[in-house]
Amino acid sequence: MILYQADYILPITSPPIRGGAVVVDQGRIVGRGEAGEQKAGFPAAQVVQIGSVSPGATTVLLPGLVNAHTHLDLCTARGKIARCSGSQGLTFVDWIEEVVRHKARVGEEEKMAAIRQGLRELLGSGVTTIGDISPDGFSIKLLAEAGLRATVFLEVVGFASTNAGAVTEKLERYLADLGSLATGLIKLGVSPHAPYSVSPALWKRVSQISRERRCPIASHVAEDLEEMIFLSAGAGRWPDFLRRRGVWDESWSSPGLSPVQYLDSLGVLAPSLAAVHLNYLSSQDIELLARRRVSAVTCPRSNRWFGRRADKLQALLCAGITTALGADSLASNWSLDMWAEMRQLHQDYPGVAAEDIIRMATISGAKTLGQDSETGSLEEGKSADLIGVAVPRQSANDIYGSLLASPPEIVLILIAGNSPNPNNSGLITRSRWSLS
Ligand SMILES: [Zn+2]
């Protein structure tokens, strides 16, 4: 039994505790509160004072961060795909074509090496849980090797409705085959790629699988203007793209709806759905998402990559929609650093409190991944997924704000009470904690 003591504890689901401690036994949080009380309650616990290499720093214990949306398979794309920036760069449809070409060029060894590097980067920034979109579950073994908690969403694409049966069968085979690998820290989910790339029939079947298996479902929704033009008027660049790829469905006609209203017309908006991006929304869309209790994932630096000024976040939060944070893939981001995502969001939305942003990167992320019974907050009974960070002392009056002011020093990372595999994480060693 170990009692981790720090200047502040941020349980997230309750107020900060100054001079607090978290007690961990057999991978679970068994106590949390003021340090003196915890020491009295658990006299046999070994006490670990969270230290910092910077003198005079303030130390903070909080839940491990949740990156609710990424594509580890695309770690190979780091620095290889041009940015989309309005008239100068690629458009979103050009970008998708680039990504498809890139994927076809990459071999398995290269992919494994890039994913391992991506996992080191995630752990290095204090991420303990991710939501990964994967067409075939390739990342699962590497996630298990690195000791991360994850929900791996098996992704399907298929615009031609005649293929819905075959694609569903393949998905069910993957779910059956990967079931034995996805145990313990790793859960499986399903992911219809997007409203413009998945037929209504396939959307309905994947949604039904999610209901039957009680597994979460994630999809890219209302990400780009082209999607709006396609669904509302059947126009724009998607019809050409789908024809070029040989998957156009002659029987398809535009529903004349927004992406959110279209998914509702298919009956697939549900509490298990994490709608990723949600950049283009009307007030009716937001009302509908709230009514169906869909959760949201926003990707601030991915939006920056595409030159988008997404402005719906505050409306989503005001509507009470659980909203999480994702780094998206390295085909549309510079790194997988969650602190950089939080700082970008803070800069884009000065009106959103730092506390709310940290909530998005912890408990809200855990909820969207169906992992909140285990992680996302420091509560008794939950898994000991926690991080210790150090921030400059002068900024410690606003403890949430100080975490977002500059990159904090990560001094401790635990997943289910264990340090992630040191061969993979390259992280903090015990010598940086002072034992007493
Ligand atoms: Zn994505």
Whole-number Å distance, alpha carbon 69 to ligand 1 midpoint, is 6
What pLDDT score does 397 carry? 74
Whole-number Å distance, alpha carbon 70 to ligand 1 midpoint, is 6
Cβ count near 58 (within 10 Å): 21
Whole-number Å distance, alpha carbon 179 to ligand 1 midpoint, is 23
For the segment 245-290, what is each residue's pLDDT rounded down to a tens digit? 888 988 899 999 999 999 999 999 999 999 999 999 999 999 999 9
Whole-number Å distance, alpha carbon 18 to ligand 1 midpoint, is 38
CB 154 within 8 A of CB 135: yes
For the segment 143-171, what is each residue's pLDDT rounded down to a tens digit? 998 999 999 999 999 999 999 999 999 99
Between the CA atoms of 212, 319, 326 and 135, what dihedral angle is there, to the nearest 10 degrees? 30
Query: How many Å apart are CA 178 and CA 180, to the nearest integer?
Result: 6
For the segment 73-111, what is each residue's pLDDT rounded down to a tens digit? 999 888 888 777 655 567 888 888 888 888 889 899 999
Whole-number Å distance, alpha carbon 341 to ligand 1 midpoint, is 15
Whole-number Å distance, alpha carbon 144 to ligand 1 midpoint, is 22
Whole-number Å distance, alpha carbon 98 to ligand 1 midpoint, is 15
Whole-number Å distance, alpha carbon 152 to ligand 1 midpoint, is 13
Name all domains of the chain by residue range, CATH numbers in brackets: 2-64+378-435 (2.30.40.10), 72-368 (3.20.20.140)
Whole-number Å distance, alpha carbon 20 to ligand 1 midpoint, is 38
DSSP assignment string, 404-415 = HHSPPEEEEEEB
Whole-number Å distance, alpha carbon 132 to ligand 1 midpoint, is 9
For the segment 190-199, what is each residue's pLDDT rounded down to a tens digit? 999 999 999 9
Residue 181 has pLDDT above 90, yes or no: no
Cβ count near 138 (within 10 Å): 16
Nearest to 130 by CA among 153, 146, 151: 151
Whole-number Å distance, alpha carbon 326 to ligand 1 midpoint, is 9
Whole-number Å distance, alpha carbon 84 to ligand 1 midpoint, is 15
What pLDDT score does 85 carry? 63
In sequence order, which residues have a C-beta less than 8 Å from that of residue 367 and are 6 or more positions away?
295, 322, 324, 376
Environment class of 378 (CB within 10 Å of its CB; exposed 0-12, middle 13-18, buried 19+): buried
Environment class of 83 (CB within 10 Å of its CB; exposed 0-12, middle 13-18, buried 19+): middle
- pTM (two decimals): 0.94
Whole-number Å distance, alpha carbon 305 to ligand 1 midpoint, is 13
Nearest to 182 by CA among 370, 26, 336: 370
Whole-number Å distance, alpha carbon 381 to ligand 1 midpoint, is 32
Whole-number Å distance, alpha carbon 44 to ligand 1 midpoint, is 46
Protein residues with C-beta less than 5 angstroms from the ion ligand 1: 328
Whole-number Å distance, alpha carbon 186 to ligand 1 midpoint, is 19
Whole-number Å distance, alpha carbon 148 to ligand 1 midpoint, is 19
The residue behind tokens 């535009």 is: 254
Whole-number Å distance, alpha carbon 328 to ligand 1 midpoint, is 5
Whole-number Å distance, alpha carbon 414 to ligand 1 midpoint, is 27
Percent of the chain's residues with pLDDT above 70: 94
Whole-number Å distance, alpha carbon 331 to ligand 1 midpoint, is 9
Whole-number Å distance, alpha carbon 224 to ligand 1 midpoint, is 12
Whole-number Å distance, alpha carbon 95 to ligand 1 midpoint, is 12
For the segment 393-408, what is each residue's pLDDT rounded down to a tens digit? 866 678 999 999 988 9
Query: How many Å apart are CA 92 and CA 20, to the nearest integer?
Result: 47
Whole-number Å distance, alpha carbon 198 to ligand 1 midpoint, is 15
Residue 310 has pLDDT above 90, yes or no: no
- What is the spatial order of strands in the sheet that 295-298 belongs to? 65-70, 127-134, 149-156, 186-192, 217-221, 273-277, 295-298, 323-325
Query: How many Å apart are CA 187 and CA 182, to the nearest integer?
Result: 5
Whole-number Å distance, alpha carbon 278 to ligand 1 midpoint, is 12
Whole-number Å distance, alpha carbon 220 to ligand 1 midpoint, is 6
Whole-number Å distance, alpha carbon 156 to ligand 1 midpoint, is 13
Whole-number Å distance, alpha carbon 330 to ligand 1 midpoint, is 10
Between the CA atoms of 207, 213, 218 and 221, what dihedral angle is there, to the nearest 10 degrees? 10
DSSP, collapsed to helix, strand or coil, labels residue 290 as: helix
Whole-number Å distance, alpha carbon 296 to ligand 1 midpoint, is 13
Whole-number Å distance, alpha carbon 193 to ligand 1 midpoint, is 8
For the segment 15-56, what is each residue's pLDDT rounded down to a tens digit? 999 999 999 999 999 999 999 999 999 999 999 998 877 778
What pLDDT score does 221 carry? 97
